[in-house]
Amino acid sequence: MGRWKTQPITEEQLKKNNIVYCTNWFYDKNGKKVERNTFQFVRDYLGYKLEAQQVVITGICKPKSTIHINMSIKNYGFSAAFNLESGFAMLDSNNLPIATSKAGEPSSWYSHSPYDYQDTEVPIHLLEGDLTLPETAGRYKIAFYLKNTLGDFACIGNQIENIYGYQILHEIVLD
C-alpha cells in the first residue's frame, strides 16, 4: 500500500484497462485538474461510489399538494450498495424529517452490466418518489437519503449540502 500512495494513476490508464471511474474524480471542486494515485483510487472506488446525475421535481408547490421526484444515479464503484435503503425526505426548518418516501433498490445499483462485466458503460439507475407538502407555511428542504438498517447515513459523491445525513436537493417555500 505504501507504493500505491506514490504511484500515479491517470484517466488514460483507467480507460486502457476498461476500468470504470467518474471523470469528475480527476478535478477539484473548482474544476481544476488534480493528480491522483493508486491508493486514492482503491480507497474511493472500493465498494460503491454513487453520484446523482439529474433531479427533477414536479408538482404544484402549495400546502397539502403532492410533489413527484425523479432522480438518476450512477455507481462508479466496484460493488453495489448492499444493505442500504434510499429515498427522499422533506425536512422542516429545524432540518428534521417530516415526510419520507423510499425510492430505489441500492443493492441493484451496479457499476457494470450484471450480464456482461466487460461492458464498461455505467448504467443509469432511476429513482422516483412522492412527498406530500405540509399544510403549514414555511421553508422546507427536499433531500435524498441513503442509510443502513441501524440508521447510519452514507453520502453520495456529489458536492451538495449534507445535513444530518440528508443530502439537500432543493428548497421549497410555502406561503
CATH number for the domain spanning 59: value is 2.60.40.10
Non-local (6+) Cβ contacts of 125 within 8 A are: 72, 73, 74, 75, 104, 108, 109
pLDDT at 18 over 90: no
Q: Residue 22 — very low, low, confident or very high, per pLDDT cuts 50/70/90? A: very high
Say yes or no: 11 and 74 in one domain: no
pLDDT in tens, 71-92: 999 999 999 999 999 999 999 9
Say yes or no: 74 and 31 in one domain: no
Q: Residue 159 — very low, low, confident or very high, per pLDDT cuts 50/70/90? A: confident
Cβ–Cβ < 8 Å for 54, 126:
no
pLDDT in tens, 36-76: 999 999 999 999 999 999 999 999 999 999 999 999 999 99
Say yes or no: 8 and 26 in one domain: yes
| Residue ranges making up the domain that contains 108 | 50-174
Residue 29 pLDDT? 83
Say yes or no: 63 and 39 in one domain: no
C-alpha closest to that of 136 among 64, 88, 65, 67 = 64
Say yes or no: 73 and 142 in one domain: yes
Counting the structural domains of the chain, the total is: 2
